[in-house]
Structure formats: C-alpha cells, structure tokens
Chains A and B, each alone.
Chain A
Amino acid sequence: MQRPDSRPVEGARELDELVLKVGRSRDREAFISLYKHFAPRVKAYLLRLGADDATAEEATQETMLSLWRRADSFDPSQAGAGTWVFTIARNRRIDLIRRERRPEADESAAENIPDPAEPADQAIAAAERDKRVRVALEVLPREQAALIEMAYYQDLTQTAIAAKTGLPLGTVKSRFRLAFARLRRALEGDPS
C-alpha cells in the first residue's frame, strides 16, 4: 500500500510547526504552506466520500478556515497536524454534507474523568503514535484495509458494508476487530 506520494515522516513535524505558527501569530505564510499541503487532500477525501465538486470545494474551504481559526487550540502532544486536520474535515463534512450534528467529548473539558495513572501504553508521544499507525496501515491485510476504507471513505455503517459486500454482518464486525487488534499491537511496538 506504499504510495509514491505518501509523505515522509520528517514532514509531519514540519506541518505541526506550521500550525503552531498560525496559532501563535496568525502567520499567513505558514497558512499558505498548510493550504497547499492539505486543501487538495481534504478535497480528495470529500470527493471519495461522494461529494460533488462544488460541495467538496466549499467544505474544503470551511475546513481550511476552521484550521485558521482554531490553530490556537492545536496541541501536538495530543495529535499531529495530519490527524488534527482529518478530524476537522470529518466533522465539517458531517455538519455541511450529512447535515447532522457531531457529538464530541471535548478533550480539554475540565469535567471529563481524568486518566488516573497514564498507563505506559497510553504515554506514547503523538508523533510516534501517528508514525506507528501509518506503518500499521501499510501492512494491513487487504481484506481488512478494504473495510476500513469503506468506513472512512464511503460513509458506510457496518450494516451497509455487510449489504454492499454480501458478507455476513458478523464477518464484517470480526474483520474490524482484527484490524483494530493489529493496530493495537503496532502501537504497543509489535508490528507483526
């Protein structure tokens, strides 16, 4: 699944730095670099999910504006820039295209039950986590990767995935579980 245009890991830190610059000082040059990197990918994401060209353009614009406005809340210890932009694009799509609300647990909400002990496996830095997830995705068996793509790129529920593929719902669920378990193992440092 290695693609020729997939971004090298070194680039991730650079993108984080650019978002931090926008957050600190509304740095337009930094925003332009981020726009050039992310806007064509966010639009590609929205098109994959079935939006027409005009709608994808509009939702991309809204995503980039949200990036500009919320950059001050970006925290690279929680998630890298790529992950953060994905969550914005996902939520804007639900909002603008599916016309539903997106319930979210605000990570910083003071009333959230805090993590008492930060177990070791939860303490991996976000950058390391993002890197391991990327590697895990590349080596995922085809049948599991296909289901993940249907969930992330086709807006299909598991019931809809079962109907579309003709697989029993139980098989769909168990493949999701297998993919999740592989991801967990990769994050715990075991890539097999």
Chain B
Amino acid sequence: MKRHHPSPEVLMSYAAGSLPEAPSLLVATHLAICPECRVRAGELDALGGAMLENLSPTKMEADAFDRVMARLDEPEPPRAPPPPADPVLPAPLRAYVGRGFDAIAWKKLGRGVEEYRLPIPDADSYMTRLLRVADDREIPTHGHDGDELTLVLAGGFRDGEDSYVRGDVASADPTVSHSPVADKGGECICLVVTEGKLRFSGLFGPLLTYFRG
C-alpha cells in the first residue's frame, strides 16, 4: 500500500529550524514512526551542517573563550527522563500530552467525533489537536485558510482515492475541501495541525464555526 509522508518542503523547513512548533511536533511524531523520513531528515541536517561550514567565521568577544572554559565544570542540568511508553502516542507527542492516551480528557464534538486540543503557545496561528473519530464516521467537511497536516496514530481513514493508516501524513492546502471518512472496524485517532482558522461548510458549518471561534 502507498505510504504518505510529509512533503519535502515541510521536512526541509523542519531541518532548517524554520518550521513553527505545532507542525514541527507533527513532523517529529511522524519521524518516530517512519524510518525512511528519519534518513531524509538526517540528509537535510547534513545540508545545514554544510551551510554552517560555509559561513565565514565571525569575531568572538575577547572574553568569550574564558567564559566557556570557566563553565565546563558546572553541574549539568538534569536531563528529563523519557515519559513512559504508550502504544498510541510516540515520545515527541507524549511529551506534549503529558499523560497516557487512556487518560486524555476528550471533548465531544458530536457526530462520532471527539477532540483534545494540545497546549502549544502559538495557538493564534495554529490549531493543534487530537481527533478521535468513531468507525465509519465522517469528519465534518471543511476548508481552511492555511495548510493542514493530519498524522494517523491509530486506525485509518479514506479521503477520496487515498487511504491512510498509522504513520501516514495527509497534507491539504487551502484549495482543498475534503471529507475524510474513518475506516470501518475501529476508531481513528489523528494528530491534526491546522494553520489559520477552519471554515466549516455544509449544514452544520456556520454553527460549528460559531462554537469553535
């Protein structure tokens, strides 16, 4: 089956360090599941390394060297222990959710859909949430003002001709209005990062937009 990865330009922005935190979280979570993209990300890190080597060295402050040497024996800040393993949430995502999958406080949106919004500071430009969709239910039709990335964590969904399972990333730009449907035989859990605001269409669209705004 065809696998779906983040686009090259998203991976490149992640490696460059210019991708904002919310989509970076989705990319890091995908990397934990996708060995192929880990190799690609390593190559793009190497591009950053080559660019660093190409920069003309700049002058350091006169005392900079002494100040670093004086700090070498400082006690190290403790390294955070990795959060306990979870079958649904890979480590990068678990660090944000702060608890296991089973302890998530879901909020019902109706029509078989529940969500959990992740606390990410740049909430003005991105909405970051976990969606839990009951089997064979449709995620309300919507368009968006910016790009939307969806990473499947459990179950799967179909969107037109394409089908997505754990680890797959669906990318939608503002021109796409789509209506993904969860697969039969189990619920579908996704991490969804949406740039800008959602525009719901259809019968409940204006109402949903009102409640979410």
Contact = CB atoms under 8 A, between A and B. Distances in A.
Interface of A: 1, 3, 5-7, 28, 31-32, 35, 39-45, 47-48, 53, 57, 60-61, 64-65, 68-69, 78-80, 82-87, 89-91, 93-94, 100-107, 109, 111-116, 122, 126, 129-130, 133-134, 137, 148-149, 151-159, 172-173, 176-177, 179-181, 183-184, 187
A185 to B, nearest CB: 12
Interface string B25-53: 10111011111101100111111111111
Interface stretch (B60-68, B98-106, B134-142, B201-209): B60-68
A152 B14 CA distance: 10
Nearest to A42: B52
Interface residues of B, number: 65
Contacts, number: 212
B57 A40 contact: yes
Contacts of B43: 129, 133, 183-184, 187
A109 B82 contact: yes
Q: A interface, by DSSP: helix, strand, loop or mixed?
A: helix
B186 interface: no
A122 B41 CA distance: 12
Interface centre among B29, B53, B67, B76 (most CB of A within 10 A): B53
Contacts of B172: none
